[in-house]
Amino acid sequence: MDKIVALCKRRGFIFQSSEIYGGLNGAWDYGPLGVELKRNLKDFWWKSMTQLRDDIVGFDGSILMNRAVWKASGHEATFSDPLVECLLTKKRYRADQIEPQSGTVYHYWYQRIGKGMWNSFSTALAAGVTTTPSPVEFAVLVHKGKPEASANKVARQYYDQAGLPAEFEIKPTKFEQVENSTAFNPENGAQLSEPRVFNLMLKTYIGAVESEDAITYLRPETAQAMFVQFKNVLDVSQKKLPFGIAQIGKAFRNEINPRNFTFRSREFEQMELEFFIKPGTGPEWLDKWLEERLAWYESIGIPRAKIHVLTVPEKDRAFYSQGTYDLEYEFPFGIQELEGIAHRGNYDLTQHQNASGKPLEYFDEETKTKYLAEVVEPSAGVDRTVLALLCEGYDEETIKDEESGKEETRVVLRFAPRIAPIKAAVFPLLKNKPELVAIAKDIYKTLQPLLKVAYADSAAIGRRYRRMDEVGTPFGITIDFDTLEGAKEASTSATGKPIEVGQKDTVTLRHRDSMKQERIAIADLPAYLLSKVI
Ligand code: ATP
């Protein structure tokens, strides 16, 4: 992961937000190459949903919505995570993400009997002081085989903070064996606070007065706008069930513990589809969308074998969900969710119909009945998918440098051409040969309106190839002496057409993954490249 993070910064994929001010936890900026990668990903999702299918329409809702939306959807009351705090470091964690631990718990107990005066449990008891003022209790979990001293050290820090004079010796008063306990901080063994509910929505005020009735939230998911506008979209698009509404946009969650680079951020983007269906057809559509989405990931270069499909057990599902699949990817830091596909029943439409008093029913012309549509929602994270693409694409191999013959490490991002930030790079073999440069510039200008191309003329050709490998550019086009003087040998071009000895106006086409080089006629380049990146 460290290598990927370093590459992202070095080559301008992803930077820490507000970096020169020390950053902002949970927020990231996409640099020149990152934004291209992210855009290609979003464009391809958009195309797959709204262009290649007849049963889905696009939508772009506002981030700020009437607070009533969040009351009706249940977010205001229940969109929360359980939060625990380390009593020693004050660091906060999601209680449900604390790894269970086993070992011996050392219990410490001190009675503060007066300003600056402390007693151990036994001394306090002997002195008859048991209730006032309050005792200072603290516990530390120590894994098997670790010495008592390590617990004492943690307890010492805790009591130091509480003001215990340095001359006091720390001794545990009670021991306890625990199995799979989530009450202790896995990083230092210190006791955690009791969980408390923490709402994840970022609150803001609309207008000049920060009063209760000016409150609203930055949306924590894009979905709600699509439910609220269901009727409008239905009326204008004249779709019949089943049909979907697709949206890509920012979402915000005040995550307790943003981590793993961009994986868990406080500001992120989602690609969400609300697919409205006839009642009773949920399980069938849930499975259809699972297959669709797995095939889609495959088509952007994330193989099926790397995606784990988790059938979320009922106890772990959102309360409205009648079935959920989580699509999880093997990230270097663990197997983690990329996308959730949930059968939400008619929960959302019911809530908004009841709260707004406006009918959101669908009139079924076949059966001449009115009912609330149900929904299956594939909801994917843009940033998490970008991260998965970077992890999946990253590769290192040892190769021999073409010029020096020395062994070196080649870093390559093996992006699928359709999502690669730069599709092809144009290189004149030598920059001081005007004939080569003129043709290279001409090719570059011809390709520029069609796809994202780069032009590079400095450094040896091997170095230029390597720099493009590192950012995942799938094709290199080199204008060399054969271009001017004619091919030295006969070959089959990249398009399958023959190249004859002496044939001019051909260039070298280098493939990033195999490093294989072949010739191609300049005239064939646009169609060839377009066919590979679409
Ligand atoms: P998690 O359990 O990881 O917090 P979730 O189940 O709450 O995620 P959903 O509400 O289903 O997530 O959101 C749909 C998708 O949005 C997720 O699969 C993920 O790709 C993306 N997403 C959710 N929260 C974040 C986040 N904090 N940072 C980046 N992406 C996120």
What is the distance between the alpha carbons of residues 503 and 485, in angstroms, rounded to a whole number? Answer: 8
Residues paired with residue 249 on neighbouring β-strands, in sequence order: 270
What is the distance between the alpha carbons of residues 185 and 193, in angstroms, rounded to a whole number? Answer: 10
Which tokens belong to 365? 């012309």
What is the distance between the alpha carbons of residues 15 and 20, in angstroms, rounded to a whole number? Answer: 11
Residue 125 confidence (pLDDT):
63
Residue 149 confidence (pLDDT):
83
Would you say the CB of residue 379 lies under 6 angstroms from ligand 1? yes
CA of 520 to the centre of ligand 1 (A): 45
Q: pTM score, two decimals? A: 0.88
Residue 173 confidence (pLDDT):
86
Which SS3 state, helix, strand or coil, does residue 259 take?
strand
What is the distance between the alpha carbons of residues 24 and 40, in angstroms, rounded to a whole number? Answer: 26
Would you say the CB of residue 268 lies under 6 angstroms from ligand 1? yes
**Phi-psi sector, 34: left (phi>0), alpha (psi -120 to 50), beta:** alpha
What is the distance between the alpha carbons of residues 443 and 457, in angstroms, rounded to a whole number? Answer: 14
Of 255, 270, 272, 293, best ligand 1 pocket probe by most atoms within 8 Å of the beta carbon: 270
Q: How far apart are the first and last CA of the chain?
A: 30
Of 257, 268, 316, best ligand 1 pocket probe by most atoms within 8 Å of the beta carbon: 268
CA of 339 to the centre of ligand 1 (A): 7
CA of 369 to the centre of ligand 1 (A): 36
Count, in order, helices (H) and strands (E) of the chain: 15, 29
Q: Pairing mode, if any, of strands 202-205 and 215-218?
A: antiparallel
Of 222, 310, 328, 384, best ligand 1 pocket probe by most atoms within 8 Å of the beta carbon: 384
Of 379, 383, 385, 387, best ligand 1 pocket probe by most atoms within 8 Å of the beta carbon: 379
Element (H, E) at 117: strand 117-120
CA of 324 to the centre of ligand 1 (A): 14
Taking the chain (534 residues) in runs of 10, the rounded mean pLDDT of each run is: 94 96 96 98 98 97 97 92 94 92 91 64 63 77 84 92 79 92 95 93 94 94 98 94 98 93 97 97 97 98 96 91 96 96 97 97 95 98 98 94 82 98 97 94 98 94 94 97 93 94 95 96 97 95
If we measure between CA atoms, which residue out of 333, 470, 334 comes closest to residue 397?
470
Would you say the CB of residue 269 lies under 6 angstroms from ligand 1? no
Name the residue type at position 238. Answer: Q
Residue 127 confidence (pLDDT):
67
Would you say the CB of residue 253 lies under 6 angstroms from ligand 1? yes
Say how many CA atoms lie within 13 Å of 180 toward its Cβ: 1
